[in-house]
Amino acid sequence: MSSSVPETVRQRVETLRQEIEEHDYLYYVLNRPRISDREYDLLMRELEELEARYPELRSPLSPTQRVGEKLTEGFRTITHAVPMLSISNTYSQAELREFDERVKRLLGLSGDLEYVVELKIDGVAVTVRYEDGALAYGATRGDGFQGDDITANLRTIRSVPLQLPRLGGGRDGRIIEVRGEVYLDYPGFERINRQREAEGEPLFANPRNATAGSLKQLDPAIVAQRPLQTFFYAIGETDYVLPPTHAERLEVLEQLHFRVNPHRSVCRSIEEVIEKTKEWETRRETLDYATDGLVVKVNRVEYWERLGATAKAPRWVVAYKFSAEQAVTTLKEIVCQVGRTGTVTPVAVLEPVFLAGTVVSRATLHNAEEIQRKDIRVGDQVVIEKAGEIIPQVVRVLTELRTGREKPFEFPRNCPCCGSPLLFSEKEVAVRCENASCPDQIKDRLLHFGQRDAMDIEGLGTQLTEQLVAKLGVRRFGDLYRLSREALESLERMGPKSAENLVQAIEASKTRPLWALIFGLGIRHVGLQSAKDLAAHFGSLDALRKASREQLLAVEGIGEIVAESIESFFRNPDNAAMLDDLLACGVRPEEGAGIARRAAQAGAERGPVASPIAGKTFVLTGTLKSMTRSEATQRIEALGGRTSSSVSAKTDYVVVGEEAGSKLEKAHKLGIQTLNEEEFLALLEGKE
């Protein structure tokens, strides 16, 4: 540092920084401000002026430097020193008791265990790392093993300390990594949406989406304008000397000036935990931020290592999910939407109502039969809830509140999009538009084609697809592969970089696996698993196109209805022309032989020990606690196995989750080996 800076100035700058950091802590963490906003602004202005007059005094740890420069190349990737695993969910008191029994069994203990119960904040998980007391970096959770470096954005959040105070007593170390949640409270969320509405910007759907969108911004100045908040709840890699219980470690985080949720409890038994779940089912409505459950953790940290983790989640923690919230509102109108297969779905237009963290204005009504069964009428007062806390649906009608002015709904006879006559069939509930050129069908087919499980064209979202159809005349899948960067740049919100990224994503999709293309084609009744079965059986697109009904029925999991649908699809002249067009555009899916060759190479690289899963066929039934069915399928396939949707003599294992269905009975009848979840996880880990 230059000696030209008077010592009194140096001391004043250091004093100002300490005072401002202290006031940030008091205001943003403790919510106990000691000075007025005007007094705070005067301190900040004085510090800014001194740093401007003496540039050599500037420091990245100064509170004036929270807002950094705009990024130009996107976020770099950071590998987490300690993985950020997800948490298994429970939905009932019985499941909580099962969790308690499982933990005690694994630990070899009897009697009551002590747990810490915390609110599960509906935000975005992050980690912040400090080295020698200073913020080194911050990152998103990502896939649990790697995340985006969002340090510049996290620095703008005043409840994230730039420097940590010392604990003293020999407890301080050089490194500490702290995990937490970034979120928006309801007032902050509404403020952002009011501003976006005034500026003509699309509104955020809910506080979590607004938070995620904010943290993805490349310009920290934008993030700084949004009232993001934090709660921290865990410690990752560290060499600090920490106390033996989780509850005490949360207190250490508070001593380090992190914002920790005050609504936490130490429960001395699982029955006390259950009492807390009953309390918070209704008490959560008093909070000004979204929470979708409680997190229950074994209090003694020494047990965590003994309990370990599954491939996806730790065994010492579980989330209890609240029951779906409900609200009452007015059904103002019923409109119909057309999907990619031509199915026409009725949708309720509601008087906007706040429900489970979002403003709900529409809800699915499924089909005409559902409307008739529930006697839903325009003008009714209806009870709505979020199925799985995601999709709003009408649960029931409050018929006792009817005034006589409510009107029964009549299903339209013509397509609401293209005007073509609708098909009403006695064989199925669905009503269909059979015009393949219907714009709504085209848009949905393109979206399905580009989704991650299909051709994985990143950036092909709803708003862009609407523009592609309306302004660039995209009608068929092949049209996507003829799009130029210049044409894309003519669309709204598509700059050169976005256009180039989309062109590259479309080009990369040309060599997606065969099953991804089959699924992306949107053949009726062919889901993701059926697409994988077909790809594995036929090995090439050409062989599948030529397959007879009998050959299709020879594929495990393919029945009469699916076989008929596949045969009809490939015999259709328009579909044949569409496929020829895709091939002419250079789409060359990686076919079965190529996939098998790569699997063999991977096996050779792993050495002579073969996975006990390789070559085996699995059927999944019921709900697994540690992973979704899709994740289980991915784990099986990564180890050389396959999954099927039906049990047959060719099935090797049936994996049985909770609420298993008829597949379990069929497995018993055929003498197929069944695996519970723990046995399945052991097999995944190579422990037969």
List the catalytic residues. Answer: 120
Q: Radius of gyration over alpha carbons of the chain, in Å?
A: 29
Q: What sign does the dihedral 270-275-281-287 (CA atoms) show?
A: negative
Q: What sign does the dihedral 342-566-454-459 (CA atoms) show?
A: negative
Measuring CA to CA, how many Å separate 195 from each of 192, 229, 352, 635? 5, 19, 19, 44
In the chain, the largest separation of any two C-alpha atoms, in whole Å, equals 91
With residue 306 as reference, give the H or E element that holds it. Answer: helix 302-307
Instruction: Sort 548 into a burial class: Cβ within 10 Å, 0-12 / 13-18 / 19+.
Output: exposed
Closest CA to 680 of 646, 629, 644, 610: 629
Closest CA to 575 of 517, 501, 534: 517
CB environment 564-588: b (16+ within 10 A), e (fewer):
ebbeebbeeeebeebbebbeebebe
**Angle between helix 573-584 and helix 560-571 axes, rounded to 10 deg:** 70
Q: Where are the alpha helices (DSSP H) in 539-628?
A: 541-546, 549-553, 560-571, 573-584, 592-606
293 - beta bridge partners?
120, 321
How many residues comprise the chain? 688
Other Cβ atoms less than 10 A from the Cβ of 306: the count is: 14
Structure tokens at 662: 């008829």
The DSSP secondary-structure symbol of 28 reads I
The DSSP secondary-structure symbol of 323 reads P
* Sole residue written with tokens 């996939």: 595
For 421-455, the three-class secondary structure string (H helix, E strand, C coil) is: EEEECCCCCCEEECCCCCHHHHHHHHHHHHCCCCC
For 609-636, the three-class secondary structure string (H helix, E strand, C coil) is: CCCCCCCCEEEEECECCCCCHHHHHHHH
With residue 391 as reference, give the H or E element that holds it. Answer: strand 391-397
Cβ neighbours for 613, distance < 8 A, ≥ 6 positions apart: 636, 639, 640, 641, 683, 684
364 - beta bridge partners?
347, 393
345 - beta bridge partners?
337
Q: Please check whether residue 347 is in contact with residue 363, taking contact to mean a CB–CB distance below 8 angstroms.
A: yes
Q: Is residue 397 classed as helix, strand or coil in its secondary structure?
A: strand
CB environment 194-212: b (16+ within 10 A), e (fewer):
eeeeeeeeeebebbbbbbe
Q: Please check whether residue 337 is in contact with residue 344, taking contact to mean a CB–CB distance below 8 angstroms.
A: yes
| Pairing of β 317-321 and β 89-90 | parallel
655 - beta bridge partners?
620, 675
Question: Which of 494-503's residues contact partners 24+ apart within 8 Å by CB, and which partners?
Answer: 494/464, 498/459, 501/458, 501/459, 502/457, 502/458, 502/459, 502/460, 502/464
DSSP secondary structure, 353-373, as one string: EEETTEEEEEEE---HHHHHH
Structure tokens at 351: 């008087």
